[in-house]
Amino acid sequence: MSNLNGSISSDGGSSSHGQSGGVDEDSDDQEDSSSSNLFQQGNSDLASFRAQWQKELQYSPNVGQKLSETSIKSRKEEDDTNENKAKDLFLKGVEHEQKGKLYEAIQFYRRAVQLVPDIEFKIYESTKQKQRLDIPETEDVQECIEVLNSGEEEFNPELTDLLSHLQKIVNRTGYIFTPKIHQTETHISALPTEIIIYILRWVVSSDLDLRALEVCSLVCRGLYICSRDSEIWRLACIRIWGVNCGGLSLYNSWREMFILRPRLNFNGCYISKTSYIRHGENSFQDRFYRPWHFVQYYRYLRFFS
């Protein structure tokens, strides 16, 4: 009985050992197949990565350019947005300032300047440009310009003087001044000639600054004619010579008298250079040496009317 049991036990042990050996072989085969699958999957992932990397290298300049253009566009849009916000804030500040709410206006101004430091200058330039574009020339101004350009006679100094030639043009057109573009505010051409001459008298002033009057005459035809007004030059002559002014017997006009007749100039100063020679002191060691000194000095004179 004992031998039989031992044989049975030994057979059972051998059969269990054989079964465990078969399981180990199956697990080894599964591990080998899984590792080979992982290796193949890694190779395929590496190949796809290399292909994608080469593709990115080929198209990277275009992509970078697109990204830079996108960033520039987004930055520009952001700047425009900030400028619009700053403009709205600044205009709100102006509105509050006009209403007398100075504290609130300062707050809006501060917020606008924080967004765009030169917002006031930009608003002024945009408004100025808009006014230039929105203001068309009126029919009267356009008609006057066409008349001046079409029917103008060529000036001949041998036949007539410049003043008479310009007076004919003004009398024919009826305009002493013609603005180049229409103005929203009152232009100087709306003033009568008497007021223009009165303003030119203030230009001359009590200092008799006739040079400033001549500079005004270089602006346009109308100011050239007004600056040749005989009353202005007559008053200047009377201011210079007083009771000794006399009449126009020797001159054709008061302006010609003022220019040609000897007179004092009040715009500037006179410089007088004086020079003389004087004896110098004899030398203590050499009494035969007698020096001479050539002296020059200047005198400045200014006259007031």
pTM for this model (two decimals): 0.45
256 pLDDT more than 50: yes
Percent of the chain past pLDDT 70, that is, above it, reads 67
Instruction: Kindly report the length of the chain.
Output: 305
- pLDDT given at position 298: 94
Six-digit token string for 247:
């009449």
Task: Check residue 48 and give left, alpha or beta (phi > 0: left; psi -120 to 50: alpha).
Answer: alpha
pLDDT digits (tens, 9 = 90+) for 77-123: 776 788 888 889 999 998 988 888 888 889 999 999 898 888 888 88
Which candidate, 160, 158, 192, 162, places its Cα nearest to that of 175?
A: 192
Is-contact 144 175, C-beta < 8 A?
yes
pLDDT digits (tens, 9 = 90+) for 116-170: 888 888 888 887 766 555 544 445 555 555 555 555 567 666 667 788 878 888 7
Residues 131, 135, 137: CA angle, nearest 5 degrees: 150
Residue with more model confidence, 283 or 246: 246
**Mean pLDDT of the chain, nearest integer:** 75
pLDDT digits (tens, 9 = 90+) for 43-66: 777 888 888 877 776 655 554 555
pLDDT digits (tens, 9 = 90+) for 185-197: 788 888 888 899 9
Give the mean pLDDT of 266-283.
Answer: 85
- Which range in 5-14, 58-67, 170-179 is most confidently predicted, on average pLDDT? 170-179
User: In whole angstroms, what is the distance from residue 122 CA to residue 86 CA?
Assistant: 10
Going by pLDDT thresholds of 50, 70 and 90, the confidence category of residue 173 is confident
